[in-house]
Amino acid sequence: MKVNYAGTVSLSTVDWRGRAAVAIFFRGCPLRCPYCQNHPYLQGPNPVELDFVKEQIRKSKPFVSAVVFSGGEPLIQDAIVPLAEFAREMRLAIGIHTNGCCPEMVSELVKQKLVDKFFIDIKAPPDDPKLYGKVTGCGESEAVKEAPEQITASVIKTLEIVDSCGLEMELRTTLIRDFIGSPQEIASIAAWISKHMKNRELTYVLQQGIPEYSLQEDLRKLRVLERDELYELGKIAKSFLENVRIRTKESGEEVISDSL
């Protein structure tokens, strides 16, 4: 079996907070988010043998307690199941970074007990397909085959599956000034999560997007949202959710406290 492989970080402390992990990155994604920083992974195949990727995991095993599958979008890879099975054999915890567009694979991994934590992007309010379409590149790229309504339906289905199985879950939104992440948009996303997710232990993270690395050139000149601005947005989300964090280049990850 071939794997569309992008690379490995043999020892990562940022891809799963609180764990040392080996992070495996895959190529390919059904979306074309204009602010995507991993856009070199979006196009161009790089097929490698399954055993090659297993060896990357095996080499890191003495130094890590987990493996994280990321991308691109890892869940479009058929190889994700045998790789997760291999990680289980190695007694590693398994984390999945996903945009939520592959609920069938999410269901399969959950059914086979091949995942311990999901990190799921909520790119915009799920009940606003028009905005979600803008943020995911619908209409701007021929690579995006699904309509905004189909994308949001898949994301909602993924969230429902993960929420119902009781697994650890981190939801996150990447913010880009004047593109996505206004106070109203953050309030809408947080309110949707609060209304629809039963798992009150989930963490919601606001991530500082770095415009200069964006896929879309006209975003690269935008000014990055500062740490204090993200903190204020985090306080808005905190009014709806129990566990809110911000993640910035300046200060790393910070918890939004109850003392507002």
**pLDDT per position as a tens digit, 31-41:** 999 999 999 88
User: pLDDT confidence of 22, banded at 50, 70, 90?
Assistant: very high
User: Quick one: DSSP state of residue 52?
Assistant: H
- Say if residue 7's pLDDT is above 60: yes
User: Quick one: DSSP state of residue 153?
Assistant: H
- Say if residue 150's pLDDT is above 80: yes
User: Quick one: DSSP state of residue 225?
Assistant: P
In the chain, the amino acid numbered 33 is: C
Give the mean pLDDT of 12-29: 96
In the chain, the amino acid numbered 74 is: P
User: pLDDT confidence of 142, banded at 50, 70, 90?
Assistant: confident
Tens-place pLDDT, residues 41-69: 888 889 999 999 999 999 999 999 999 99
Q: Element (H or E) spanning 208, and its range?
A: strand 203-208
Total Cβ atoms within 10 A of residue 5: 23
Exposure pattern of 224-245 as b/e (b: 16+ CB <10 Å)? bbebebbeebbbbbbebbebbb
The pLDDT of residue 259: 59
**Alpha-carbon span 198 to 23, nearest angstrom:** 29
Give the mean pLDDT of 73-97: 97
Give the mean pLDDT of 152-160: 98
Give Cβ neighbours of residue 114 (< 8 Å, ≥ 6 apart). Answer: 81, 84, 85, 87, 88, 94
What SS3 state is found at 19?
coil
Pick from 181, 187, 184, 163: nearest CA to 240: 187
Q: Enter the CATH code of domain 2-255.
A: 3.20.20.70
Give the mean pLDDT of 225-237: 97
- Say if residue 221's pLDDT is above 70: yes
Share of the chain above pLDDT 70, in %: 99
Terminal-to-terminal C-alpha distance of the chain: 52
What SS3 state is found at 254?
strand
User: pLDDT confidence of 245, banded at 50, 70, 90?
Assistant: very high
